Amino acid sequence: MTTTQRLLLVEDEPTLRELLSASLRLAGFQVTPAETGAQALQAVSEERPDLIVLDVMLPDINGFEVARLLRERHPGPGSSGHPPVLFLTARDAAEDRISGLRAGGDDYVTKPFNLEELVLRIQAVLRRTSGRQPDRRLLVDDLALDADSHQVTRGGHAVQLSPTEFSLLRVLMENAGQVLSRHQLLDRVWHYDFDGDDSIVASYISYLRRKIDTAGPKLIHTVRGTGYVLRKPSP
């Protein structure tokens, strides 16, 4: 792939940082390396990267906190807001995955990993968070999604979503009333070019519900053994 997309690589282990930097440059990316959370926060303001590859275990502040600070300092997704984040970590516990999602992460890769797979995951995040917005406003009950402004409201109140959460909600709203399987959502939202782990779909559905369904009647439903559907509440 030939691209001028800019990556910020935040990894405190020098050998791994150099290896990843070289590999990602060979894949066609522009790479800015950083080794601490403080350097990462500064680099985001100065370099405006298209995506951050962010190690969780850093010497000053952990990657989850870096992602939270980014959302505070650069609210809203897109070029004027925080870039998408792909976490790198040796920790694969369920609570760490949830922490990553709550911090605004868009994907989560555990060490050790295959370099080719990492490049594919980066490409997948970039595809779903850049320029794939529909040309209309979506409305289901009191839930509204505006693609042009990249805003979501429920009952007139703004709902803050990460780029991946926005993409997932958009697919659900475009297919309101239709049951979508995990595999379909993995394909339409994550665009994996390999056999991805569909458990990430359940994690994002759970977190999206916390932001969407606590402000009114339940809209996102699980169809046991089939998938998920977004529909208006029953009268």
pLDDT at 8: 96
Residue 197 pLDDT > 80, yes or no? Answer: no
Q: How many helices (H) and strands (E) would you count in the chain?
A: 8, 11
User: What confidence tens digit (pLDDT) does each residue in 5-29 have?
Assistant: 899 999 999 999 999 999 999 888 8
Reference 185, options 223, 232, 227; nearest CA is: 227
List the one residue out of 127, 115, 135 whose CA is nearest residue 187.
127
**All domains of the chain, ordered by start, with CATH?**
6-130 (3.40.50.2300), 137-230 (1.10.10.10)
Q: Which of 163, 176, 161 is nearest to 209 (CA)?
A: 161
Encode pLDDT of 110-166 as tens digits.
888 888 888 888 988 887 776 544 446 889 999 999 887 889 999 989 999 988 899
The pLDDT tens digits of the residues spanning 200-214 come to 899 999 989 999 998
Beta strands in the chain (DSSP E): 6-10, 30-34, 51-55, 85-89, 107-110, 137-140, 143-146, 151-154, 157-158, 220-223, 227-230
